[in-house]
Amino acid sequence: DAGVIQSPRHEVTEMGQEVTLRCKPISGHDYLFWYRQTMMRGLELLIYFNNNVPIDDSGMPEDRFSAKMPNASFSTLKIQPSEPRDSAVYFCASTGVREQFFGPGTRLTVL
Amino acid sequence: SQKIEQNSEALNIQEGKTATLTCNYTNYSPAYLQWYRQDPGRGPVFLLLIRENEKEKRKERLKVTFDTTLKQSLFHITASQPADSATYLCALDMKDSSYKLIFGSGTRLLVRP
C-alpha cells in the first residue's frame, strides 16, 4: 500500500481565496482524521470520519472550514475564504485499529 | 482544565546514552497512550501503544511506561543514535470507541555523535 496520500504538498494562496486539500486514506481503514499543526498550537484534530460519516467536527475552527468524505477512498478539507491565520501544515490520517497512519501533509501559506 | 504536557525544551544527549522523554496529563482518563515520532517536513509515525493496565511495553531499543496514578508516561530510547534525532509526540487515546487522539506538543530530541 502507498500509505496515506495527500495533495497538494504545498499550497500558496492569497487571502480570500478558496483552498481545497485532498486525502486518500489507506484502503480498508474505517477512520479518517484531519489535523492542523502549527508551532503555537501543536497538532490539533479538526474533524474525523467513521465509514465516511462525520463523527466529530468540534475542532473545526469556523464555518469557513468544511470537510467531506464522499467515499471510502477520498476526503477533502475546504477553506473558504482563506485567511493568513489559516497558514499551517494540514495532515490527514487513517486507522483501522488504534494506531494512526499519517500522510505527508499539505503546507498551506495564505498571504 | 485538561492538559497534556511534554518538555518544550529540546533534549540534547550524547550518542549511546539513554534518552528519557516525559508525558504528563491532567483531567483525562485515557485507556491507551501512544507515542509517535515526527521528522521535519513529515507526518508523525506511530511507534508504540500501551494500555492503561500495562505498566511497561518494549520494542527493540524503545521502552514505554504508563502510570495512571501519576498520570504520566515515560518514553525511553536506549543506546541512542544520531538517527533517533526527531520530535516525539505522546497522544492520549480515550476510553470511548472513537479512536480519537489528543496529542501533546512534542519534545525534540537531539543525539550528538
Q: What digits encode the pLDDT tens for the residues B21-35? A: 999 999 888 889 999
Residue B67 banded pLDDT, cuts 50, 70, 90:
very high
Residue B96 has pLDDT above 80, yes or no: no
| Mean pLDDT, chain B, whole residue set | 93
Residue A14 banded pLDDT, cuts 50, 70, 90:
very high
Side-chain half-sphere of A77: how many Cα atoms within 13 Å? 32
Residue B98 has pLDDT above 80, yes or no: no
Determine which of B32, B101, B105, B107 to mutate to test the interface with A (most A C-beta atoms within 10 Å): B101
Residue percentage of chain A with pLDDT more than 90: 92
Q: What is the pLDDT of residue A96?
A: 82
Q: What is the pLDDT of residue B3?
A: 86
Residue found by looking up cell 477520498 in the block: A74
Q: What is the pLDDT of residue A1?
A: 66
- Report the Cα–Cα distance between both ends of chain A, in Å, rounded: 36
- Determine phi and psi for A86, rounding to 5 degrees: -80, -5
Residue A50 banded pLDDT, cuts 50, 70, 90:
very high
Residue A109 banded pLDDT, cuts 50, 70, 90:
very high
Q: What would the mean pLDDT of A71-79 be, rounded to a whole number?
A: 97
B30 touches chain A (CB under 8 A): no
B101 touches chain A (CB under 8 A): yes
Of B3, B44, B6, the closest CA to residue B23 belongs to B6
Residue A4 has pLDDT above 80, yes or no: yes
Q: What would the mean pLDDT of A65-83 be, rounded to a whole number?
A: 97
Question: Do the Cβ atoms of A48 and B49 come within 8 Å?
Answer: no
What cell does B91 get?
A: 497522544
CA distance B80 to chain A (A): 24
B88: buried, middle or exposed (CB in 10 Å: 19+, 13-18, 0-12)? buried
- What's the Cα-to-Cα distance from A16 to each of A59, A79, B31, rounded to whole Å? 21, 9, 42
Residue found by looking up cell 481503514 in the block: A29
Q: How many CB atoms lie within 10 A of CB A3?
A: 14
B102 touches chain A (CB under 8 A): yes
Q: What are the residues of chain A with a beta carbon less than 8 Å away from any beta carbon of chain B?
A: 4, 31, 33, 42-45, 48, 55-56, 91, 93, 95, 98-105
Please give the Cα distance from B4 to B45 (Å, whole number). Answer: 19
Q: What is the pLDDT of residue B2?
A: 79
Residue A60 banded pLDDT, cuts 50, 70, 90:
very high
Can you say how many angstroms the Cα of residue B21 is from the centroid of all Cα atoms in its chain? 6
CA dihedral A87, B99, A24, A53 (to 10 degrees): -100
The alpha carbon dihedral of A53, A56, A58, A61 has a sign of: negative
Q: What is the pLDDT of residue B95?
A: 72
Residue B55 banded pLDDT, cuts 50, 70, 90:
confident
Please give the Cα distance from A36 to A38 (Å, whole number). Answer: 7
